Structure 1
Amino acid sequence: MIMSLNPSNCLLVFLFFFTFLFTLCLSFEARNPEVEALIGVRENLDDPHGALSNWDEDSVDPCSWSMITCNSDNLVTALGAPSQGLSGSLSWMIANLTNLKQVRLNNNSLSGAVPLSLASLPQLTFLDLSFNNLSGPVPTFPTKTFNIFGNPLICGGHSSEKCSNLVLASPLSFDVNPSSDVQEEDLIKLGNLRSFTLKELRHATENFSSKNILGSGGFGNVYRGKLEDGTLVAVKRLKDLTGTTGISQFRTELEMISLAVHRNLLRIVGYCATPNERLLVYPYMCNGSVASRLRGKPALDWNTRKRIALGAARGLLYLHEQCDPKIIHRDVKAANVLLDDYFEAIVGDFGLAKLLDHAESHVTTAVRGTVGHIAPEYLSTGQSSEKTDVFGFGILLLELITGMRALEFGKSVNQKGAMLEWVKKIQREKKIELLVDRELGINYDRIK
């Protein structure tokens, strides 16, 4: 859908398409038996970080709960809570979720036996219980992917043959020891990424000097840094480590970036994790973000704006169509599209991203994102999908065309969504040329 846009006439096509998206509205109905099943699962778990804190037994359905994915019929099809510090046992009641297709509970501290009832789920195609403390016996599962590697009582030591016929993935391993007195050693092991010490990153950023701040947001600050070998980097220092937001974003970004590798997606250089710090290290983008460039001088020329739009589109298309499971970014905006040395678009900041099986229509969560960039159906229902990202991409297109930022435009007239109303008004009056950034003069592609 995104790739079908023709840069020379994308403006008119987008406006009609965007008007259609603006009117989308989804609804869902109660599924009390699934609420009961999930509450039964939660009661057997110890959840120290509150990952399941919004699982409310009085809810009419669980589709708005964290860690839960529902299909278009509002039936639970996936439970994903990897690396959440969960302990306790996995209740047999999970098998009452008869439409369940995926279960991801890897990298926790679950103990006890794997529920035999899981083997009765007819649609279960992916089960990842790796890196827990589970014990046998292990049921025979008809799943395409069943990963129980890293459970010492089942697959460790002399019991490795029990895992020999299983499909083993390479999940992320977070092994943070909160009781450690050593705070400048990296405390996790992850793939081939470089692990930095806190001392290294303090030195690179001049002790996180305010003069090196590249940007800031609800997540924390991003600092310009220079490594000992002279390499320039951007260091994201996450805050809110006393709650779940910062830790969750840290894990999410690492997991998502490990799945998505594309020239128009931000890659990660390395990370640092201590009991009191979570830091992510990225390549330094000398041309900043699209948001900063829209405010800067000289103005971006039309061809550069088209190249940015196409680059961002390619990155999103990869996330939606070529990743398995697909990735919903959920925060597509000018501030999260960076520009490399050649002004190529690099989509970054995966802290709000969600995984979604290709068979699913949406995932339901608490609404997160940026005012002015949130799709109306996501805002009203909490249901996000690739359409949510397309809406954000549409706002990005408007910002590239007009040279204005949606949020600032709304603030100027004290009305959220004001840019959309303004665009629709111009469309009705057939004065589309008024949308074009005045800084471009006559140097842009006209609609014929």
Structure 2
Amino acid sequence: MTHLLLGLLFALLSLWDSSVGFLTPGGVNFEVQALMDIRDALRDPHGVLDSWDRNAVDPCSWAMVSCSEDQVVSLGIPSQGLYGSLSPSIGNLTNLQTVLLQNNNISGHIPSELGKLSKLQTLDLSDNHFRGRIPPSLSHLNNLHYLRLNNNSLSGEIPPSLAEMTQLTFIDLSYNNLSGPVPRFLAKTFSVVGNPQICAIATEKDCSGTAQLPLSFNVNSSDSSQPFKKHRGHARLALALGSSLASICLLISGFGFLLWWRHKHNQQMFFDVKDRHHEEVFLGNLRRFHFRELQSATNNFSSKNIVGKGGFGVVYKGNLSDGTVVAVKRLKDGNAVGGEIQFQTEVEMISLAVHRNLLRLYGFCATTTERLLVYPYMSNGSVASRLKAKPALDWGTRKRIALGAGRGLLYLHEQCDPKIIHRDVKAANILLDDYCEAVVGDFGLAKLLDHHESHVTTAVRGTVGHIAPEYLSTGQSSEKTDVFGFGILLLELTTGQRALDFGKAANQKGAMLDWVKKIHQEKKLEMLVDKDLKNNYDRIELEEIVQVALLCTQFLPSQRPKMSEVVRMLEGDGLAEKWEASQRADSSRSRANEFSSSERYSDLTDDSSLLVQAIELSGPR
């Protein structure tokens, strides 16, 4: 009994010690304190950090902050017009893996305290006004794979210790005022173009400040990584180029022979990590998986593990060897989505979109015949599946889903770099986490699979009933096509019905949108509400959501609001003015030049040629 009590006491003391470890001496969560110091050092013209509260118990519900296991792992505030300085307190967020502050107006020095973030994998401070030297302490970041400091006003020499970071795969120091010799970086890709005082010759002692580097250095080739010396003459340059060409030809010949031998012996070639003698490789903030690892996780892609099917591929539930439950998306036509390097680059760009309402990409797998994406498993499935399940989603949860999905799309359209058009916004692509918070999935995949086509995509991607009229007729998408799809999503959340199935009901003809407009004109909105809600909803909020949906689904793209306006209206700001302006425009528009409602939208429900692409992507994605 004594031993039992001692064990219990020891456990309680350990638990107390671990909780105290998250607090400052003043009893404040140290992550809250660090984030508030960061906010206090910045100026926030658009109020994107208004949710940050110094009296909060933890910061995991704050905008622009992402957590894992109740610890802050990501700080993503790109393109928000922030100015001021970056507080050294960022070094106290010791669990950070991603910092994205690009395309703001932040000035001052880059804090040397960033070197304390031992778990940091991605750091992007590009397109700001940082000045002074690059802190040598950044070389202490042993997990850093992706570093962008370009387009600032940094000066001084590049710290030689950065060249010793063997794990770096990408580094961009271009368009600063850096000087001195260039270290021999081991990163796969790096750029120092646009630094007028940089020496083009890494070993040259006397730098005149006029020499220019090429756009970027690819240091995979030993020849290209060697510095060229002008005074050695053209003969040495020609010899180096000749050696490089000879080496490349030899590599191509050897690779071609290997492909021929594999084909002759009818063996499949897999370019996974094991073939390269690495146990595990991380690219940016992504993990590259072995194909065999994902085979094992999904029980050889068993049909019993399928949790979703759709236009992009099949989704399987998987269990990794460490116990992590994941969703593995096996893309269709894996050998037709471009080369491995191009696929990897596109996937890395998608992974840089980090927001609490976006589905985070864990990693990927690429072989000569397979392309797979690995995501966290969403236990509550998709909005589409949840709307059909029991018990019914309550009104408050539906509103929260609408706002969360809107914020995710707003980030894709206006806040991340590069900006992303989803092209298939619907209830099946809005996933729900353990707390029924909305998470936008499948973003960026249309671009990923269509990169070999022109900017006008001839094969319309999307789901019947959600496709904007201009996209259906021309194949040209824009952020306004996503806004249209979001408007239909709002109606699905309100009615509990899928737009695709709507016209199949015996007492309903035509498109959901036609029916909603008719009911709204007749002021019978109670007929719209999901019967499972009974009377448990707010009449005023119902009117507001329907108005937002109708604004989003206007026929002309130019008349639809931007997602930033949509989110503000859902938050209760500016809807009355926007709706009134829309009604005035409708009344003043000449009816002679307008299509009727049924003529406008009939092609969204009756075109059987599109039904093949209208597969519902149910379940976790």
Q: Same fold (TM over 0.5)?
A: yes
Equivalent residues of 2:426, 2:466 under 8 A apart: yes
Give how far 1:372 is off: 1.0
Deviation string, structure 1 residues 164-207 (Cα, Å, up to 9, x no partner): xxxxxxxxxxxx99937542724797323212112211111111
Aligned-partner SS, 2:503: helix
Selected match of 1:217 from 310, 315, 327 = 310
User: Which amino acid counterpart does residue 201 of structure 1 have in structure 2?
Assistant: L
Aligned position for 1:404: 497
User: Which amino acid counterpart does residue 185 of structure 1 have in structure 2?
Assistant: D
Equivalent residues of 1:402, 1:436 under 8 A apart: yes
Give how far 1:148 is off: 3.7
Give how far 1:354 is off: 4.8
Give how far 1:248 is off: 11
Structure 2 CA distance for partners of 1:381 and 1:421, relative to 1, 3 Å: same
Alignment of 1:365 onto 2:453 = no
Separation in 1, partners of 2:228, 2:391: 62
Give how far 1:152 is off: 7.2
Aligned position for 2:288: 195
Structure 2 CA distance for partners of 1:281 and 1:422, relative to 1, 3 Å: same
Aligned position for 2:531: 438
Give how far 1:249 is off: 11
Equivalent residues of 1:257, 1:267 under 8 A apart: no
Deviation string, structure 1 residues 79-119 (Cα, Å, up to 9, x no partner): xxxxxxxxxxxxxxxxxxxxxxxxxxxxxxxxxxxxxxxxx
Selected match of 1:307 from 376, 383, 400 = 400
Separation in 2, partners of 1:240, 1:192: 26
TM superposition score normalised by structure 2: 0.42
The residue correspondences of 1:25-64 to structure 2 (distance < 5 A) are: none
Separation in 2, partners of 1:161, 1:322: 44
Structure 2 CA distance for partners of 1:414 and 1:245, relative to 1, 3 Å: farther
Aligned position for 1:262: 355
Selected match of 2:332 from 235, 239, 244 = 239
Selected match of 1:183 from 261, 267, 270 = 270
Greater Cα offset, 369-378 or 306-315: 369-378
Separation in 1, partners of 2:227, 2:509: 60
TM superposition score normalised by structure 1: 0.57
Aligned position for 2:76: none
Equivalent residues of 1:289, 1:338 under 8 A apart: yes
Greater Cα offset, 187-196 or 424-433: 187-196
Aligned-partner SS, 1:203: helix
Aligned position for 1:271: 364
Equivalent residues of 1:372, 1:416 under 8 A apart: no
Give how far 1:229 is off: 1.2
Higher relative contact order (CA 8 A, sep 6+): 1
User: Which amino acid counterpart does residue 308 of structure 2 have in structure 1?
Assistant: G
User: Which amino acid counterpart does residue 372 of structure 1 have in structure 2?
Assistant: G
The residue correspondences of 1:144-183 to structure 2 (distance < 5 A) are: 147-150=215-218, 156-159=224-227, 179=259, 182-183=269-270
Equivalent residues of 2:401, 2:436 under 8 A apart: yes
Deviation string, structure 1 residues 336-367 (Cα, Å, up to 9, x no partner): 11100000000010254559xxxxxxx64323
Give how far 1:417 is off: 6.3
Structure 2 CA distance for partners of 1:249 and 1:148, relative to 1, 3 Å: closer
Separation in 2, partners of 1:308, 1:340: 11
Separation in 2, partners of 1:327, 1:266: 14
Structure 2 CA distance for partners of 1:307 and 1:375, relative to 1, 3 Å: same
Equivalent residues of 1:329, 1:389 under 8 A apart: yes
Aligned-partner SS, 1:271: strand
Aligned-partner SS, 1:383: coil
Equivalent residues of 2:312, 2:445 under 8 A apart: no
Aligned-partner SS, 1:384: coil
User: Which amino acid counterpart does residue 536 of structure 2 have in structure 1?
Assistant: N
Give how far 1:321 is off: 1.4
Structure 2 CA distance for partners of 1:161 and 1:308, relative to 1, 3 Å: farther
Separation in 1, partners of 2:479, 2:217: 32
| Structure 2, unaligned runs of 5 or more | 1-46, 48-188, 191-199, 201-213, 231-254, 263-267, 276-280, 449-454, 544-621
Separation in 2, partners of 1:347, 1:230: 25
Alignment of 1:323 onto 2:416 = yes
RMSD: 3.6
Give how far 1:389 is off: 0.9
Aligned position for 1:377: 470
Separation in 2, partners of 1:151, 1:267: 30
Separation in 1, partners of 2:229, 2:414: 36
Deviation string, structure 1 residues 293-344 (Cα, Å, up to 9, x no partner): 1111111111110110000011111111112332111111111111000000
Aligned position for 2:384: 291
Aligned position for 1:75: none
Structure 2 CA distance for partners of 1:343 and 1:410, relative to 1, 3 Å: same
User: Which amino acid counterpart does residue 156 of structure 1 have in structure 2?
Assistant: S
Give how far 1:234 is off: 0.4
Structure 2 CA distance for partners of 1:161 and 1:250, relative to 1, 3 Å: same
User: Which amino acid counterpart does residue 469 of structure 2 have in structure 1?
Assistant: P
Equivalent residues of 1:308, 1:344 under 8 A apart: yes
User: Which amino acid counterpart does residue 466 of structure 2 have in structure 1?
Assistant: H
Separation in 2, partners of 1:419, 1:249: 40
Separation in 2, partners of 1:370, 1:379: 10
Structure 2 CA distance for partners of 1:160 and 1:233, relative to 1, 3 Å: farther
Structure 2 CA distance for partners of 1:295 and 1:239, relative to 1, 3 Å: same
Separation in 2, partners of 1:155, 1:376: 54
Separation in 2, partners of 1:324, 1:199: 33
Structure 2 CA distance for partners of 1:252 and 1:344, relative to 1, 3 Å: farther
**Structure holding more helix per residue:** 2
Separation in 2, partners of 1:390, 1:416: 24
Separation in 2, partners of 1:183, 1:229: 23
Structure 2 CA distance for partners of 1:248 and 1:190, relative to 1, 3 Å: closer
Aligned-partner SS, 1:157: coil
Aligned position for 2:157: none
User: Which amino acid counterpart does residue 150 of structure 1 have in structure 2?
Assistant: N
Separation in 2, partners of 1:436, 1:249: 46
Equivalent residues of 1:241, 1:247 under 8 A apart: no
Structure 2 CA distance for partners of 1:285 and 1:443, relative to 1, 3 Å: same
Aligned-partner SS, 1:156: coil
Aligned position for 1:395: 488
Equivalent residues of 1:264, 1:312 under 8 A apart: yes
Aligned-partner SS, 2:519: helix
